[in-house]
Amino acid sequence: MAEYSCNAAKFARQHCAIATVDRFRAGIDGVIVLPDGGLMIAQSSEFSRSLFAYAGRRAPAVIGLVLLAALLEGVGILLLVPFLELLTGPPLSGVTRVAGWVLQSLGLTTPRAQLVAGLGVFFVLLVLRGVVMRARDVRLASLSLGFVDHWRNQVFRALAGATWPALTALRHTEVEHTITNDVSRIAEGTDRLMRGSVALALVVIQLVVAFVLSPVLTSVVLAAMAVLTLPFTRLMRKAHLLGSRLTVAGREIHQVLGDFLTGLKLAKSHGSEAGYIERFDAKTEDVRRQLVEHTADQAGFRLVFQLIAGAAACAIILAGVFVFNSSAAILTVSLIILVRLSGPFMTLLQAIQSFANMMPAFASVRELKTRLERSSDVVTLPEAGGRSPAGPAAIELQGVCFRYAGEDSNALDDVSLSVAPGETVAVTGPSGSGKTTLADIIVGLQQPADGTVEIDGELLTGPVLERWQREIAYVPQDPFLFDQSIRDNLLWARPDAMAQDIWTALQMASADGFVRGLRDGLDTRVGNRGHQLSGGERQRICLARALLRQPRLLLLDEATNAVDLDLERQLLETLKPLSAQMTIIMITHRLSHVSDHVRCVEFRNGRII
């Protein structure tokens, strides 16, 4: 799978299209000890800035709805006191006296009238609270989902906008893990964070209501909450550590899976599946063990939470009855508040814990994006549009030199080459002589260290490069096909192509015959990497796709090595009349098929000889 993704990324970059992502290694692999508070605070601060930057002008409205919903619930709870005291005895609390004074000023003097009016107000509050809660939940969901999609799209665009050197420096399975698993963890963590914000508002408002009713009893609740923070701090740090380990373990599992899928045929033919199974089981067992340990910690904390909450409830009852002589209404509402506080408070703590667990995933995603953006290899993705100028391209290389990072010698050394419009050039030479590097330079995947590349007399850089990559067609040595139908694979190069255009391209690639012979014809699914077709059939489909694109440059990198010599000669004869439409560069080891109209250029040790 890794090799397949690499080929797909190269194919997409050479055609300026988004196809598959690559990989990277984040710098948190070594986090194996409990993180200090500074690391979590720094990551939390970065996440918060990113979230508020994305929310923009929507943030005040969302915060307002969260607070308003909590306030309405608090007011509703506060109104329970007058109701209960009207039903159970004389009004003792200040809340009841204030409510009675308001109702009497409105002409409601009898207890029955006051009760009916109070219930009416309570019902209106319930309706208003429901409306506000609905608006709050919709806004929070929209913000949460949009934020996650924002990061997913930003990372994908950074990958698609990076040039080939930046992409080849990344590890494929780790990018796949980052853009899928890590982003999914961000989605879960952001959702928990939104719920936590609601819970925080409820906790604060209900504590204010409890303080209005009985400041002393509220202090008991606050003391219980303070006690709970002591074991929770370590639990939060362990959640952050687990998040780091899950990020590393997830990459490793993804790597094992990628290795197995990439070498699936070899593994099956050598009977080596057991080794992959053993590696996969070991990694999943490690993840499972850590998750079970984390669940045990959470269960222990919930037990402590319930014990402390129960002790606080008992303390409130005892203090209210024997110390403060509180009314039954005050005690009842205080207990109701305590019971209702336990849910939001536990939700708040779980949200903080999930947030800590999610931070390493966010750091992984952010590092990938930052790494790509910091690279000098990042380019602006071209906008779709027409091609100009039309017709075959003229290509001019002057004194081009190129060296891969870490190598001692140049892959290309003072290469000068002129290709006239409509000319067909065969580039030959042994493996490692620089042929494919030359192709990468011509299509703009690599930038020369010295020398220049011109297309139609213009330097291959900036807007010229962006336009040029929309005007070429590349057929690789290893045929690349999507796991879709033949029709979909062809339309990838030219989505607006008509059926006649498709069959014309297939005919020119000598592929129409076998496609018509397939049971489903153009709708035949080619399978992963096109494995349901033979090597020669795959190459011909790839050639047809390139021809359907109607390029100004057709680049064939050993693109016919899987077909027999007779068919290869037939294909090349078919390409002869296309000189008025496109320039053709062929990279090949076989010279037997090269006809008189083809100019041969031989490479040795990075030089033209």
- Among 116-130, 366-380, 497-511, the minimum mean pLDDT is found in 366-380
In sign, the C-alpha dihedral spanning 237, 239, 244, 248 is positive
Query: What is the DSSP code string of 50-71?
Result: HHHHHHTTHHHHHHHHHHHHHH
In whole angstroms, what is the distance from residue 98 CA to residue 94 CA? 6
**b/e string for 140-173 if b means 16 or more Cβ within 10 A?**
beebbeebbeebbebbbebbbbbbbbbbbbbbbb
What's the pLDDT at 93?
59
What whole-number percentage of the chain has pLDDT above 90?
Answer: 23
Q: In a 10 Å sphere around its CB, with 0-12 CB exposed, 13-18 middle and 19+ buried, how is residue 63 labelled?
A: middle
End-to-end CA, the chain: 38
If one looks up domain 395-608 in CATH, what number appears? 3.40.50.300
Look at 51-65, 124-138, 142-156, 568-582 and tell me which has the smallest mean pLDDT: 568-582
Specify whether the CB–CB gap between 569 and 576 falls below 8 A.
Answer: no
Instruction: Give the pLDDT band (50/70/90) at residue 320.
Output: confident
- Cα(172)–Cα(265) distance, rounded to whole angstroms? 20
CA 507 to CA 527: how far, in whole Å? 22
Residue 32 has pLDDT above 80, yes or no: no
Helix ranges, 319-401 (H): 328-374
* CA–CA distance, 336 with 35 (Å, rounded to integer): 38
Residue 193 · residue 44 · CB < 8 Å: no
Q: Give the per-residue pLDDT at 502.
A: 94
Report how far residue 461's alpha carbon sits from residue 301's, in angstroms, rounded to the nearest whole number.
Answer: 60
Report the pLDDT averaged over residues 41-52.
86
Coil/strand/helix, residue 601: strand
Position 123 pLDDT exceeds 70: yes
Give the pLDDT score at 25. Answer: 35
What pLDDT is stored for residue 398 in this prediction? 95
What's the pLDDT score for residue 146? 92
Answer whether 202's CB lies under 8 Å from 344's CB.
yes
Helices and strands (DSSP H and E) totals, the chain: 20, 10
Q: What is the DSSP letter of 579?
A: G
Q: Mean pLDDT for the chain?
A: 80
Q: Which amino acid is at 502?
A: I
H helices of 549-596, in order, are 565-575
DSSP 35: P
Question: Does residue 552 contact residue 474 with C-beta atoms inside 8 Å?
Answer: no
For residue 500, pLDDT over 80 is answered with: yes
As a whole number of angstroms, the distance between CA 233 and CA 230 comes to: 6
Give per-residue pLDDT as tens, 434-482. Answer: 888 999 999 888 889 999 999 999 999 888 988 998 899 988 777 788 8
Strands 395-402 vs 450-455: parallel, antiparallel or unpaired:
antiparallel
DSSP category for residue 341: H
Q: What CA–CA distance (Å, rounded) separates 380 from 163? A: 10
CA 337 to mean position of chain CA atoms: 41
The pLDDT of residue 562 is 57
Tell me the one-letter amino acid at 495: P
CB 77 within 8 A of CB 209: yes
Q: Mean pLDDT over residues 577-589, rounded? A: 85
By DSSP bridging, strand 553-557 and strand 412-419 are unpaired
> Which of 268, 244, 267, 256 has its CA nearest to residue 363?
244
Q: Which amino acid is at 522?
A: L
pLDDT bucket at 12, cuts 50 / 70 / 90: low
Whether residue 594 has pLDDT greater than 70: no
pLDDT of 381 over the 70 cut: no
Distances (CA, A) of 566 to 293, 569, 576: 65, 5, 16
Rg over CA atoms, the chain: 34
Least confident of 137-146, 172-181, 225-234, 514-523: 225-234
Distance CA 282, CA 286 (A): 6
Backbone angles phi, psi at 76, to 5 degrees: -60, -40
Concatenate the DSSP letters of all residues of 393-455 into one string: PPEEEEEEEE--TT-SS-SEEEEEEEE-TT-EEEEE--TTSSHHHHHHHHHTSS--SEEEEEE
Using CA atoms in the order 214, 220, 221, 226, what is the torsion angle rounded to 10 degrees? 140
Q: Which two tokens stand for residue 453?
A: 């590349």
Give the mean pLDDT of 185-208.
88
User: Which pLDDT score, from 0 to 100, does residue 489 have?
Assistant: 92
Higher pLDDT, 276 or 326: 276
The sheet with strand 599-604 has its strands ordered as: 472-475, 553-557, 583-587, 424-428, 599-604, 607-608
Q: What is the pLDDT of residues 200-243, one digit of tens each?
A: 998 888 888 878 777 877 787 788 778 877 777 778 888 888 88
Q: What distance in Å separates the CA atoms of residue 367 and residue 149, rounded to the nearest whole number? A: 17
How many angstroms separate the CA atoms of 596 and 573, rounded?
A: 11
So where are the chain's domains? 1-33, 58-374, 395-608
For residues 474 and 19, is the Cβ–Cβ distance under 8 A?
no
Task: Tell me which DSSP letter residue 461 carries.
Answer: S
Please give the DSSP secondary-structure letter assigned to residue 518. Answer: S
Angle at 199 between CA 196 and CA 202, to 5 degrees: 155
Q: What tokens were used for 211?
A: 């303080």
Take residue 583 and report the two structure tokens written for it.
């320039």
Look up residue 323 and give its DSSP letter.
Answer: I
Three-state DSSP class for 603?
strand
Task: Determine the Cα–Cα distance for residues 497 and 548; give it in Å rounded to an integer.
Answer: 8
Q: Say what the pLDDT of residue 555 is.
A: 92
Domain 58-374 - what CATH class?
mainly alpha
